[in-house]
């Protein structure tokens, strides 16, 4: 399990704690998607796996590449 623990994963989880944001937020009653962690790091809010957040953190130089 430790081989899957990367700098990107640690920062990803820390961002949840620091921002209080979820990976993806559903549309609200007005059809607007509230701020979520994907939007916060500059990627589109898409349903599915959230490893794209870790990849974005790597690409932007926030963490080392694994």
* Residue 26 belongs to a domain: no
How far apart are the C-alpha atoms of 7 and 5, rounded to whole Å? 7
* Residue 51 belongs to a domain: yes
* Residue 12 belongs to a domain: no
Cβ distance 56 to 35 under 8 Å?
no
* Residue 45 belongs to a domain: yes
- Domain with 66 in it: 35-66
* Residue 39 belongs to a domain: yes
Please give the average pLDDT of every successive group of 10 residues along the chain, which has 66 residues: 87 97 94 95 92 96 89
* Residue 56 belongs to a domain: yes
pLDDT at 1: 75
How far apart are the C-alpha atoms of 45 and 15, rounded to whole Å? 16
Query: Considering its fold, how many domains does the chain have in total?
Result: 1
How far apart are the C-alpha atoms of 5 and 25, rounded to whole Å? 25
* Residue 52 belongs to a domain: yes
pTM of the complete model:
0.87
């Amino acid at each position: 399990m430790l081989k899957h623990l990367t700098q990107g994963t640690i920062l990803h989880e820390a961002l949840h704690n620091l921002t209080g944001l979820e990976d993806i937020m559903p549309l609200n009653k007005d059809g607007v998607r509230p701020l979520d962690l994907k939007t916060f790091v500059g990627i589109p809010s898409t349903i599915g796996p959230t490893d794209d957040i870790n990849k974005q953190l790597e690409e932007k130089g926030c963490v080392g590449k694994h």
